[in-house]
Amino acid sequence: MSYLDIINRRRSVYALSDRLPISEDELVRTVEDVVVATPSPFNVQSGRAVVLLGAQHRALWDEIVRPTLEAIVPAESFAPTAEKLAGFAAGAGTVLFFENRPAVEDLKARFPTYAAAFDGFAEHALGMIEVNVWNALAEKGVGASLQHYNPLIDDAVKARWGIPAQWALASQMVFGGIAAPMAPIDKLPASERVRVIR
């Protein structure tokens, strides 16, 4: 597969199973390799990932996200939310992505001229890690979607898995076997989004 084949293979896959097409060890190594390989501003390397597998993954969705949302979503409209969360729990795992905030604050202190830009730069860098992981999983036939239940779940996640208080939770990438193919998605033509000036 070419690089473009791989990135075109990546989709938001919501119909997930717990049967991965690769071993858990290979999946973990892939996440590790991607996190290390992805660039960051001034090489700050502030992105962090926590891979939850099997029962730990199910605990995130069944024991943390579900009760957190159940407490705030009106009971009469909770059924679709519960169904969506059950779909996530049916996957094989979740990667939690964090930003190590002290590293970003240290950058601001060391390079005051750029200080106002560093929060944005650090978010870009974490986004690069997220999409690189998403693409790398797609290349191996692993389906995934990117979720954002932070900041509602941050305290419970940190307490449950001993995550440092100064890591800021940015996103949750649920992954697993692809249980159903995704419908094609509409895209604007490149001509509307890319200008060439020569």
Of positions 145, 169, 170, 178, contacts ligand FMN by CB under 6 A:
145
Q: Between residues 37 and 182, which has the closer beta carbon with respect to ligand FMN?
A: 182
Q: Using CB under 6 A, which residues numbered 166 to 185 contact ligand FMN?
A: 185
Euclidean distance between CA atoms 73 and 99, whole angstroms = 28
The distance of closest approach from Cβ of residue 19 to ligand FMN in the complex, given in angstroms and rounded to an integer, is 21
Applying CB under 6 A, among 148, 155, 180, 181 the residue interacting with ligand FMN is: 148
Task: For residues 88 and 13, give the distance between their C-alpha atoms in angstroms, rounded to a whole number.
Answer: 10
* Nearer Cβ to ligand FMN (118/134): 134
Among 1, 5, 12, 54, binds ligand FMN (CB under 6 A): 12
Residue 99 identity (one-letter amino acid): E
Nearer to ligand FMN, 30 or 145 (CB): 145
- Neighbouring-strand partners of residue 167: 100
Task: Write out the E strands in 105-166.
Answer: 143-147
150 binds ligand FMN per the rule CB under 6 A: no
Q: Does 69 bind ligand FMN (CB under 6 A)?
A: no
Given the rule CB under 6 A, which residues bind ligand FMN?
11-12, 145-148, 185
